[in-house]
Structure 1
Amino acid sequence: MCQTLREQQFRLARYVRDPARHAPPPGIEERRLKIYRELFYSGIEGLLASSFPVMCQTLGERRWQARVRDFYANYRSQTPLFTEIAEAFIDYLHDIEADAPWQLELAHYEWIEAQLYLSDAQDPPHDPQGDLLQGEPLLSCSARVLAYRWPVECIGPDYQPEQPPERPTLLLVYRDAELQVRFARLAPLAYRLLAEMRGNGRERLERLGADRDEGLAMLESLRAQGIVIGTR
């Protein structure tokens, strides 16, 4: 009896995920099956649309719905948590032929924004007034330093580039004091300074061949914005 019930459950699950390829279990009327199909799919689609709103709008309804249905039917998620479905979708995007060349990077950027908005992480112990040259500058746990081939912060329904620019897109994405997620373009020096986390401020600047006063002014400006929180 238990084995029969288990097989019925698997058969229903296969059908609900991909009704084009799998027959429904016997004895369930079509009206009920339609409710299951629409309820489960709309839950996943709604979750992904809220996690990737720019991608959803930019791909358009037809391409977006087709992508979500393929994910729903074929990706084997290893997590039962709704909060981790967006990350699973990014994992899925690594292994498919993209709908657009910037799709994966845009998805990652939107996922980072959502993660920062929802994060309850706490900064490690630090000295807010620490010497940024003698000490080790620390980035806020609510900030990320990112590099992309595509200008992900500009992509949308009205701008869908076909070729990446010559220079990479270097971004600082952070949550401000009002809990709003913002981004700023980074110059190459600022990107390398923030991405390089080894050693004190002076050592970092020396490795980069950067002017000490210019680098210190940059770090102090970031500290005033709460992006650099002080020293370890």
Structure 2
Amino acid sequence: MAVYTELLFNNICGFVDTCFPVCRAILGEVRWRRLIRRFYRDWPLDTPWFREIPHQLVDYLTTAQIRQPLPAWLADLAHYEWAELAVDVMATSSPAHDPDGDLLHHPVALNPALLNLAYTWPVHRIGPDYRPRKAQPTYLAVYRDANDAVQFTQINAVTGRLLDLLTAMPTSGDAAIRQIAAELQHPAPEQLLGYGRALLEDLRRQGIILGTLA
């Protein structure tokens, strides 16, 4: 039984080590193995799929009371590293769309393989040579491009809110931007529309927006 237990633990290590290389490098091998041992012991792994184990580790870091001193930003960093796997394995199909459609005046078609993420810490900068001392709100779009490669783009809070609105229901860029202007109590909504048009086109160029719904 001890041999079987160790084999299973080593299999779990293989999956989490691959998914979280930065977390592992920062903690060091001893602290990382101690953390994974506690995860293996204390967390109810209720999935039969090995590829879902990294997400279970993210849930563990986010919700469990872990009796081990860990950096305050570790859960955010782990989620950021997991996001690449999540987008890579998303089973999606693109909606019928016009790639050249007018994004302001027709419902926008988003890339379905997309995560719109907000973090308390600058996770995209954290590494062995940089460990933040102060929180810094960070917004990122993680998506799969036309070549099935996972891409990361840093965005701001307004762009994140725009993507939230476009994800919630089919709507035109104009309607979404006007709603943001109202939420911000912007004194000149028409000026924001000019900025919004350029933003929508940039998101289309990157592949975060596919075009307009057909």
Q: What's the CA shift for 1:112?
A: 1.0
8 Å contact 1:171–1:183 — kept in the other structure?
yes
Q: Does 1:81 align with 2:53?
A: no
SS in 1 for 2:97: coil
Q: Which residue of 1 aligns with 2:111?
A: 140
Match among 78, 81, 86 for residue 115 of structure 1: 86
The normalised TM-score by structure 2 is 0.84
Equivalent position of 1:27 in the other structure: none
Displacement, 1:70?
Answer: 0.5
Alpha-carbon RMSD:
1.8
- Offset of residue 128 of structure 1: 2.3
Among 67, 77, 82, the residue aligned to 2:35: 67
Corresponding residue for 2:17?
A: 49
Asked if the contact 2:105/2:172 (under 8 Å) is kept, the reply is: yes
Write out per-residue CA displacement over residues 67-91 of structure 1, whole angstroms, 9 at most, x where no aligned residue.
1000111111111111211111122
Counterpart of 2:141? 172
Structure whose alpha-carbon radius of gyration is higher: 1
Aligned to 2:100: 129
The structure 1 residue matched to 2:155, chosen from 170, 186, 195, is 186
Stretches of structure 1 lacking an aligned partner (at least 5 in a row):
1-11, 13-32
Larger relative contact order (C-alpha < 8 A, sep ≥ 6)?
2
Instruction: Return the letter of the residue paired with 1:126.
Output: H
| Equivalent of 2:176 in 204, 213, 216 | 204
One-letter code of the match for 1:134?
A: H
Deviation of 1:118 after TM superposition, in Å, equals 2.5
For the residues of structure 1 that align with 2:194 and 2:44, how far apart are their CA atoms?
52
- Regions of 4+ moved over 6 Å: none
Post-superposition shift, 1:41?
1.4
- Say whether residues 1:90 and 2:62 are aligned partners: no
Shift of 1:177: 3.0
Would you say the 8 A contact 1:133–1:200 is kept in 2? yes
State the secondary structure of the residue aligned to 1:196.
Answer: helix
Which 10-residue stretch deviates more, 109-118 or 61-70? Answer: 109-118
Conserved? CA contact 2:165–2:176, under 8 Å = yes
In structure 1, distance between residues paired with 2:109 and 2:5: 48
Instruction: State the distance in 2 between where 1:112 and 1:185 align.
Output: 14
1:101 to 72, 86, 89: 72
Cα distance in 2, alignment partners of residues 149 and 46 from structure 1: 28
Deviation at 1:46, TM superposition (A): 1.2
TM-score normalised by the chain length of structure 1:
0.78
Q: How many residues align?
A: 198
Over the matched positions of the two proteins, sequence identity in percent amounts to 39
